[in-house]
Amino acid sequence: MRRLLLVEDDPHVASFVRQGLTEEGYVVEWAMTGREGQRRALAEAFDAVVLDVRLPDLSGVDVCREVRRHDAAVPVLMLTALDAVEDRVAGLRAGADDYLPKPFAFDELLARLDALLRRAAVEPPDRAHADGALVLDPATHEVRCDGAPLDLTATEFDLLAYFLARRGQALSRDEIHRAVWGHDFDRGTNLIDVYVGYLRRKLAEAGCPAALEAVRGVGYRYVPGARG
């Protein structure tokens, strides 16, 4: 099920979009302000972001630019005023993938989102993940914190990549084990706990502020620790 972040200060527009997308099978999280939208976009994993340009506290362009600093691949669809050419240009330059002028028909919003998600699905999955000072690059198989390399084993690397791609989400032991080790979780082993312990120690030794938090009865959650 695809999870979207909607950043929109107009409750009528937000309600209209949320209802339509929910009926189409999306899970839609709503943020009313730019600061709240930015906080959630950096702390959680979403399949796409729908972002209004004109927000009361922080410009959607600024939010988009900050999101792009941390995630180069998440699709961003910006909502702009019909005649605001400068907003559209600024949004695209900040890293937005597409824009939709207001007022808009829901069918067009859905079609543009579907197109962005299809394009994202066929792009190479081995993209870099960043959380502030911490950067993981699958193409080079390198992890750095403040530019300094972290010495991780192949399994530690895969585990950190899985957490980073789903930052902020509570992940079950079954999910983690299947994704990293390739088979179902053996409840009689503490393998995940051991490797989480390894990662915690190496992140702490490198001075990375991110944390791997235990979620009682579920598994673990990567808690972002971006700095600046």
Please give the pLDDT value at position 188. Answer: 62
Q: 27-31 and 3-7 as β-strands: parallel, antiparallel, unpaired?
A: parallel
pLDDT of residue 227: 47
What the block records as the tokens of 39 is 């906080």
pLDDT of residue 117: 86
CA separation for the pair 221, 212 (Å, rounded):
6
Q: Which residues pair with 19 in a beta bridge?
A: none
Backbone angles phi, psi at 190, to 5 degrees: -110, 30
At residue 53, the pLDDT reads 92
**Predicted model pTM:** 0.60
Give the pLDDT of residue 124: 47
Per-residue pLDDT at 228: 38
Per-residue model confidence as pLDDT tens for the chain (228 residues): 789 999 999 999 999 999 999 999 999 999 999 999 999 998 888 989 999 999 989 999 999 999 888 776 788 999 987 666 787 788 888 888 888 888 899 999 999 998 888 876 654 455 678 888 889 988 888 999 988 999 888 888 889 999 988 888 889 888 888 888 765 555 667 788 888 999 999 999 988 878 899 999 889 999 887 543
69: left (phi over 0), alpha (psi -120 to 50) or beta: alpha
